[in-house]
Amino acid sequence: MQPAFSVLLISDDLAGTGSIQEGLVDSGASQVYKCSSDDNFLQQLDSVHVDLIVLDIDKPTVELFEQFSLVRDFCPKPVVCFSNDSDSKLIEKSVQAGVAAYIVDGKAVERVKPIIEVAIMRFNECQAVRKELASVKDKLSERAVIEKAKGLLIEHKNMTEDGAYKTLRKMAMDQGKKISVVAHEVCGVLVGLEGS
């Protein structure tokens, strides 16, 4: 069972969203904010905190999904789209924009809960993979700057590789900084010396 969550429901027919709203409440939605697809949903997102975005759009547009690319990049949320349009190019655009589930002809109340649960789980899994990838990239970047600093120390100070690493480690401990930060500073100083 999902813990309580809040939803922004964006629709091109707000009066016709009853079954989706009922399904959202059955899924654990504590608050359902509504927004017309003609309104600026980005502005709405800026004024309310939501955990999930649900689109109920008969025929979504590529432009709409381009706006959702901003959501994906700046305030990632799971997005579920209920639509009557099964155009594969549009579905591809929705996936690129970060839509976790694109459902065609599936607004029955009893279907909403499992769709929402799967979309939230899939979103959380994707976010975990993104964080792990970012962490790996950071570690590789740190490793690269440490290697560069060691190389410069070996070249400029006639140190061994082991001696260069021990020097960087001691400087980091003495200054209370991460070794990658000290390595970056060493690179800046020694590259500056090379330039002068």
pLDDT above 90 covers what percent of the chain? Answer: 43
31 - beta bridge partners?
A: 6
Residue 9 pLDDT greater than 90, yes or no = yes
Q: State which CATH number among 3.90.550.60, 3.30.420.280, 1.10.10.10, 1.10.1660.10 fits the domain covering 134-195.
A: 1.10.10.10
Residue 195 pLDDT greater than 80, yes or no = no
Which whole number is the average pLDDT over 122-142? 90
CA distance 12 to 81: 12
Q: Which fold has domain 5-107?
A: Rossmann fold (3.40.50)
Which whole number is the average pLDDT over 20-31? 91
Q: Which uninterrupted H or E stretch holds 37? A: none
Which pLDDT band, with edges at 50, 70 and 90, does 175 fall under? very high
Residue 1 pLDDT greater than 80, yes or no = no
Residue 150 pLDDT greater than 60, yes or no = yes
Provide the residue ranges of all domains of the chain, joining segments of one domain with +: 5-107, 134-195
Alpha helices in 28-160 (DSSP H): 41-47, 62-74, 88-96, 109-157
- What pLDDT, on a 0 to 100 scale, did the predictor assign at position 194? 67
CA distance 94 to 89: 9
- What pLDDT, on a 0 to 100 scale, did the predictor assign at position 40? 87
Burial 34-45 (b: 16+ CB within 10 A, else e): ebebeeebeebb
36 - beta bridge partners?
A: 11
Tokens of 65: 């999904």
- What pLDDT, on a 0 to 100 scale, did the predictor assign at position 2? 60
Residue 173 pLDDT greater than 90, yes or no = yes
Tokens of 33: 């904010």
- What pLDDT, on a 0 to 100 scale, did the predictor assign at position 110? 85
- What pLDDT, on a 0 to 100 scale, did the predictor assign at position 127? 86
Q: What is the pLDDT of residues 81-127, one digit of tens each?
A: 999 888 889 899 998 988 999 999 878 888 888 888 888 888 888 88
Residue 41 pLDDT greater than 60, yes or no = yes
Residue 6 pLDDT greater than 60, yes or no = yes
- What pLDDT, on a 0 to 100 scale, did the predictor assign at position 144? 93
Query: DSSP label at 15?
Result: G
